């Protein structure tokens, strides 16, 4: 028997042993879980029987409260322990099919014996809880697997650096408890393993990359020192996957002080949030809070405005160039996305210390209790040295005192008794018992007094809540002043036209996308910024699509939060986002550590070689050695033959067994046109801004909704010069092409767009 076969048999025996240990642990936990479940059910069933309830005397009430608390804590502890057992069972179930994916033999410099270290998605100890059968991939010693070939190696622990030698590095493909592949390697991750992982069809959810993490990705995952980590990664370089593994690593590394509620991820759209939603649960971690920046802004601003989405802004830029105000709107976008506009807002806020803050009347029953003029005069009577948000706090306290006075004045009015009659029986009973004394006549008067107080307290409490939320400040009217009455010392070009356009939008309660971040920033300057102090780590995906102003706002809202920014400057498809973007190495305003991922793992070598020829930026792009067909350009003569070709190419891709095929369009309008063309001919789904998940099959969508997602095959229905006309379309076309894993087809009527024409003829084929 050869050494290779013998070694494989030995490894399979170990897999069998580990699975046997998992089964034993499962059986033990199932028994414990069953006992705990019965215990919890019994506690719930007999909760009140086991509590001593006596409310006759004050001491009895205290004893009853203590008994209730003790019983509730016991129940809570049992339920928590039952939940923990359930999580352990889930982990064991995940390990059973594939207990581990890697092995290293490591001998420390101070030791003679080498240790065999097997690495999987979670740690597993033997039945005696003495030795590790499997090490969690996030454990310090596991970093050896990702960072070193056989030879001298080291890893960091709390005690310090451990040095030694890796004498063996082995990788496994284990499915249903059987070794399907086993490789000894001298590189980070052997090509065989990556080839298999990448050669499969695209999924409708993102795959976990734990088994195939590369050394450069591991630097991202295990980075603990940087307050700001910037990752510039080419399309398909695994930056988002690495970021999700980074979240899992941080939750594991700091599990005593960090939980899922302390981590926030800004994703580009709801579809992408759904696409990545399975990665953390697969690793045994709870999903962190995922939101879009649009939703975050909407939550901060409230429902006072309708806010244009970034996709609506994109559609405007791409399809409304013939509108009368288009050029001014573009100037407005450019300026309001810049740090210069932030400085102008700061100047305006400084002006507001002396005058022009707008307030609202506080009215009750169609009568003004406290006028906006009174509030204005009180605010501006306060010391000029006090910051505006602190002044608002003082005004709020004054208003609450004033409302307390008006509450007492309203108590004896006729409308109160009308409201008293609408109170429920419980309120009357409470008032009756509270009013009991020796004199029956005074009892009735006291009861009415109690009921009146209850009514006005309830009515005024809502007004007080609004005052505490600073609703007496008319933020929108004050913001409008910036564009109507105020004259800045230095104004940008076309400022008056920008002001007219903005004032009109604000008057109809509409915020353009370029105004949303500035408005929230301005609101914070007036009322105080309300960043979430509980957020310890903020992850921003597709960071190249954020403007300089939006980044400034994020830094303002999360001043003490560690951030990880991920993106690709080549895919900066939105207007005014590349200027002063922190993904660019020339930016010196952000103190940071920057990691660049240059190798593309998503697409075949042929697709990468084609797309990198027209990539917008200067970043290096390296293809992974995975062969496939060259991108195909199909030229057609007219609209009818274009439609026939489109259906024919879809059939070809499906015949090859591809399960996810995307028709990626430039705009939503084109997307709808293609969808209507195909809907009665093939099974196709349209993806729009409201789509939260997608299934396998044929989908049609605009390019900006395809960000971060991959497909087996991509068809660009119209790649002609009439569709992609300007240099500004380069990022759009590049992004669309780089969604393809295995096949890229471009259809062109007339002349192909300049990006195809500019590529080397050797990188694609023409039909």
* Residues 332 and 502 sit within 8 Å (Cβ to Cβ): yes
Q: Which of helix, strand or coil describes residue 710?
A: coil
Q: Are strands 115-120 and 178-184 parallel, antiparallel or unpaired?
A: unpaired
Here the tokens at position 369 are: 């209790």
* Residues 457 and 463 sit within 8 Å (Cβ to Cβ): no
Helix, strand, coil tally for the chain in percent (to 5): 50, 20, 35
* Binding-site residue positions: 233-240
Nearest to 747 by CA among 726, 714, 720, 713: 720
DSSP string for residues in 712-758: EEEEES--BTTTS-SGGGHHHHHHHHTTEEEEEEEEEESSBPHHHHH
Classify 173 in phi/psi space as left (phi over 0), alpha (psi -120 to 50) or beta. Answer: beta
* Binding-site residue positions for ATP: 233-240
In the beta sheet, which residues pair with residue 636? 749
| Cα–Cα dist 409/369, whole Å | 11
* Ranges assigned E (strand) in 515-602: 537-540, 562-567, 593-597, 599-600
Here the tokens at position 162 are: 């451990």
Residues contacting 360, CB < 8 A, separation 6+: 372, 375, 471, 472, 473, 474
* Residues 671 and 701 sit within 8 Å (Cβ to Cβ): yes
Q: Which of helix, strand or coil describes residue 575?
A: coil
CA trace torsion 505, 508, 510, 511 (10° rounding): 40
Here the tokens at position 270 are: 């709801």
* Residues 113 and 167 sit within 8 Å (Cβ to Cβ): no
Helices and strands in the chain: count of H runs, count of E runs: 26, 26
| Cα–Cα dist 546/576, whole Å | 9
| Cα–Cα dist 157/315, whole Å | 51
> Across the chain, which distance is largest between two alpha carbons, in Å?
108
């Amino acid at each position: 028997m050869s050494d290779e076969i013998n070694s494989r048999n030995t490894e399979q025996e170990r897999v069998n042993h580990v699975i046997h240990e998992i089964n034993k642990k499962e059986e033990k936990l199932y028994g414990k879980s069953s006992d705990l479940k019965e215990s919890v059910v019994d506690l719930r069933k007999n909760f009140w029987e086991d509590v001593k309830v006596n409310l006759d005397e004050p001491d009895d009430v205290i004893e009853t409260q203590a008994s209730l608390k003790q019983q509730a804590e016991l129940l809570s502890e049992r339920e928590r322990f039952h939940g923990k057992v359930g999580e352990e069972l889930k982990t064991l179930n995940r390990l059973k099919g594939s207990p581990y994916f890697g092995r290293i033999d490591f001998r420390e410099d101070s030791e003679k014996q080498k240790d065999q270290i097997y690495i999987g998605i979670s740690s597993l100890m033997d039945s005696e809880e003495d030795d590790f059968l499997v090490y969690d991939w996030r454990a310090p010693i596991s970093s050896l697997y990702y960072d070193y070939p056989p030879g001298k190696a080291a890893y960091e622990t709390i005690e310090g650096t451990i040095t030694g030698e890796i004498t063996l590095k082995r990788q496994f493909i284990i499915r249903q408890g059987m070794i399907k592949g086993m490789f000894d390697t001298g590189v980070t991750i052997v090509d065989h393993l990556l080839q298999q992982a990448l050669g499969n069809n695209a999924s409708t959810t993102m795959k976990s990359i734990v088994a195939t993490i590369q050394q450069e990705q591991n630097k991202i995952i295990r980075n603990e020192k940087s307050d700001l980590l910037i990752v510039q990664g080419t399309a398909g370089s695994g930056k988002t996957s690495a970021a999700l593994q980074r979240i899992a690593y941080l939750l594991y590394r700091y599990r005593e002080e960090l939980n899922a509620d302390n981590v926030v991820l800004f994703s580009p759209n709801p579809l992408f949030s759904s696409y990545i939603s399975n990665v953390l649960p697969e690793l045994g971690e709870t999903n962190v809070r995922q939101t879009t920046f649009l939703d975050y802004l909407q939550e901060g601003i409230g429902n006072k405005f309708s806010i244009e989405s970034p996709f609506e802004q994109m559609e405007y830029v791409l399809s409304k160039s013939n509108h009368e105000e288009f050029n001014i709107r573009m100037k407005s976008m450019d300026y309001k996305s810049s740090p210069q506009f932030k400085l102008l807002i700061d100047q305006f806020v400084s002006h507001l210390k002396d005058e022009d803050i707008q307030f609202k009347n506080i009215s009750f029953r169609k009568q003004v209790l406290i006028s906006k003029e009174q509030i204005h005069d009180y605010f501006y009577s306060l010391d000029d040295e006090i910051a505006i948000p602190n002044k608002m706090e003082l005004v709020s306290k004054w208003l609450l005192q004033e409302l307390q006075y008006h509450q007492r004045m309203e108590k004896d009015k006729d409308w109160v008794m009308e409201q008293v009659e609408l109170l429920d029986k419980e309120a009357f009973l409470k008032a009756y018992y509270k009013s009991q004394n020796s004199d029956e006549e005074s009892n009735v008067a006291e009861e009415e007094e109690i009921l009146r107080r209850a009514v006005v307290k309830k009515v005024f409490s809502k007004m007080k809540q609004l005052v505490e939320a600073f609703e007496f400040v008319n933020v929108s009217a004050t913001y409008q002043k910036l564009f109507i009455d105020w004259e800045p010392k230095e104004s940008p070009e076309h400022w008056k036209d920008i002001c007219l356009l903005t004032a009109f939008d604000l008057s109809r309660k509409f915020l353009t996308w370029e105004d949303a971040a500035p408005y929230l920033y301005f609101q914070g300057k007036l009322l105080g910024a309300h960043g979430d102090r509980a957020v310890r780590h903020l992850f921003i995906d597709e960071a190249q699509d954020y403007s300089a102003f939006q980044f400034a706002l994020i830094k303002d809202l999360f001043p003490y939060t560690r951030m990880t920014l991920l993106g690709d400057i080549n895919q900066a498809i939105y207007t005014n986002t590349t200027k002063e973007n922190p993904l660019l190495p020339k930016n010196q305003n952000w103190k940071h550590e920057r990691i660049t991922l240059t190798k593309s793992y998503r697409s075949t070598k042929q697709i990468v070689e084609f797309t990198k020829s027209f990539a917008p930026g200067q970043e290096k792009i390296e293809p992974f050695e995975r062969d496939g067909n060259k991108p195909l350009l199909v030229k057609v003569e007219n609209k009818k033959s274009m439609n026939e070709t489109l259906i024919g190419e879809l059939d070809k891709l499906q015949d090859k067994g591809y399960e996810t095929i995307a028709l990626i369009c430039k705009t939503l309008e084109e997307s709808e046109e293609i969808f209507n063309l195909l809907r009665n001919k093939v099974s196709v789904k349209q993806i729009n801004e409201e789509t939260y998940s997608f299934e396998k099959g044929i989908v049609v969508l605009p390019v900006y909704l395809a960000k971060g997602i991959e497909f087996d095959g991509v068809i660009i229905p119209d790649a002609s010069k009439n569709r992609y006309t300007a240099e500004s379309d380069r990022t759009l076309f590049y992004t669309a092409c780089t969604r393809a894993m295995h096949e890229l087809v471009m259809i062109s009527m007339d002349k192909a767009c300049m990006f195809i024409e500019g590529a080397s003829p050797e990188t694609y084929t023409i039909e």
